[in-house]
Each structure stands twice: as C-alpha cells, then as structure tokens.
Amino acid sequence: MADEARFTEVTGPLRREILGHCYRMLGSAADAEDAVQETFLRAWRGFEGFEGRASARTWLHRIATNVCLRQLEQRARRALPSDLGGPEEDWHRPARAAPERTAWLAPLPVDPAEAAGARQQVRLAFVAALQHLPASQRAVLLLRDVADLPADEVAVALGTTTIAVNSALRRARDRLARTAPDPETMSEPGDGELRTRLRRYVGAFEEADVGALAALLREDVTLEMPPHATWFAGRAAVLGFLGTHVLREPGRFAMLASPMTANGQPTYAMYAREPDGGFTAHALQILDVAADRVRHIHIFLQPDLLPAFGGPVTLPGSRDRNG
C-alpha cells in the first residue's frame, strides 16, 4: 500500500497546476475538477510503482493529459456564443437562447494568493482559443509552452516522437497566433488607475448610466452572455443592448468584486434586486481590460457559479458594494 503521507507530500503542491492544465485542455471548470480527481486517483494507485525517473510534476502532467484526451474523445468542444456565429446586428431584439445541449466554456477561479504568479495563459480568452486546436496539438502546446516540459518528455507522455512533438507545436503556435489575444495588450487589475476605472465601471453599471459606461469601453468591445447565443460587437451595439434590455433603471443590479479572479481577469458577482429591496445571485461578470478600457464583457448567467468565486448568494439592499 502506498504511503498516504508521502503521496500527499509529493503530489499535493501540484494540484492547482494540474487543475489549470486540465481546465485549459477541457475548457470547463467542472470537467477539469473531474479530471483532476481521476488524475490523482490514478496517481495514487500507481504511486508504489513511481520510480522517480521523471519528476513527479512530469508524471502527473502525463497522467492528467491522458485523462483529458480520453474525456475529449467522448464529447464536443466547449464554446462561447461567438463560436456559434456572427454578432447580432439588431440590438433592439431580445437575446435568443442557444441551441439545446450547447457545451459552454466556463471560467476557472484563481485563488488571490496565487493570482500574482499566474501566467497570462490561464485567461478565458486564451482558453477559448485553445478549444479551436485539435486535442493532440492542444496537449503539445500546453505541455511545452505552459508547463515548460522538454520535447522528449512530452513525446514520452503522449506516446510519440520528439520530431512529431516539434511539428505539432509549430502548427499549434501558428494557428493560435491567428485566434488568441495578444498577452501584451491585456492588463491585470493591479495598478491604481485601472482599479479606479473598474470602480467607475461598477458604479456606471449599478446606476444604469450608459453614458458613463461608454467612456470605459473600447470602440471594438464585445458582449457575450452564456447561455444566450446572442452576442454583440462594437460599442454602439453593446451599449444599445445594455441600455434597452438590461440597464433600464438605477439600482436594478448590484456588483461585488470577487475575492477570486476568473483566469486572472477582473471578476464580479452580479446580483438582481428583489421586491423586498435585497439582492439575489444573478450572474458572474468577467471583464477583459486592454489599454485601460474594457475590451470584452462576459456575463455568465449562471448564479450557481458565484459560490465557487467566493460570492454570497444574497446581498442586503443597503450594503456598500463598491469599496
């Protein structure tokens, strides 16, 4: 029987890294958690035979990658609304439902203690771009460029050759360069000016001040609202839809900064006002900020996501939420 204390000592510190790897492979926080459970179960069962010829980190990445590849064989890729078609041109129309059984790309929480050291590649936009790669190329790219494993170790992990790994890596990099955002244009919510802009964004949203919101959005801003299939591109369309269908009156929504970020991006728990004046969980809003203005707005209309991001289910109506 494997030594449980020794197993925990060797593998425990790697759990968050393996979770991130599984999330980037699968594009689903829930599926990633399942894959991590399966990975550590397999690792526990094989721990007695682990001889240390490879590092524990490489060993766990190999197990996790194989678990994820098997999951990917059994289901369709994850999507965001922008993967389903072009943007809606008529913002006067209500958002339409997505096709049944659409598998949505969902955010992954990052503990604030780890956010400072998190790599750019955990961002939701990057994960969405990864879903356009074939599974084998995705695995190679993540093991080489994110996990920083040598090509020969990746070849062993995937049961292929170093030449094949290098070839797949080139193809994956070329394709990703055409679809992924540029990390150099993406900002973390760390500096004072950016935090001020984010507070102004929250205030404008809560007060339904579309004019104030306009000054905080890029001209090419997009809005996506899973599970709705409808999405909007361009400041005029985004503001038109929000002003007509969402921000109809001040105080209708409250926003609370999440103690955990989603993929390293500014994240807010969003609450809807009830008749008694209190607020109940409504959505998770994730912002992609570039050049000090909001470039992408993702509003996940899934109240069940809030607890995973440290958000309460309800808020009192008189609470100060912007501090």
The full set of domain ranges for the chain reads 4-75+139-178, 192-315
Alpha-carbon gap, residue 87 to 74, rounded angstroms? 29
Q: Which residues contact 283 (CB under 8 A, 6 or more apart)?
A: 270, 299, 300, 301, 302, 303
Strands (E), 81-202: 109-110
Determine the 3-state secondary structure of 3 from DSSP: coil
Own/partner pairs, 31-36, CB within 8 angstroms, 24+ separation: 31/71, 32/108, 34/71, 35/64, 35/67, 35/68, 35/71, 36/64
Express each pLDDT in 6-62 by its tens digit: 899 999 999 989 999 999 999 888 889 999 999 999 999 998 888 666 788 999 999
Alpha-carbon gap, residue 253 to 90, rounded angstroms? 24
State the DSSP H helix or E strand holding residue 73, giving kind and residue range, or none if neither. helix 56-73
Mean pLDDT, residues 147-156 taken together: 92
Alpha-carbon gap, residue 261 to 267, rounded angstroms? 5
Which pair of structure tokens corresponds to residue 75? 């289901």
- pTM of the model as a whole: 0.78
- Is residue 141's pLDDT more than 50? yes
CATH fold match for the domains 4-75+139-178 and 192-315: no
Q: Taking the domain 192-315, which CATH number applies?
A: 3.10.450.50
Closest-CA residue to 264 (of 288, 295, 280, 248): 288
CATH of 4-75+139-178, one of 3.90.1150.10, 2.120.10.30, 1.20.140.160, 3.30.70.940: 1.20.140.160
- Is residue 71's pLDDT more than 70? yes
Type of residue numbered 9: E
Express each pLDDT in 259-297 by its tens digit: 777 777 889 999 999 998 899 999 999 998 887 789 999
Could you give the angle at which helices 15-26 and 29-45 cross, rounded to 10 degrees? 130
Alpha-carbon distance values, 97 to 61, 83, 115, 228 (Å): 37, 14, 34, 5
Determine the 3-state secondary structure of 84 from DSSP: coil
What pLDDT shows up at residue 96? 86
Alpha-carbon gap, residue 305 to 278, rounded angstroms? 19
The residue with tokens 């490879």 is 54
Determine the 3-state secondary structure of 92 from DSSP: coil
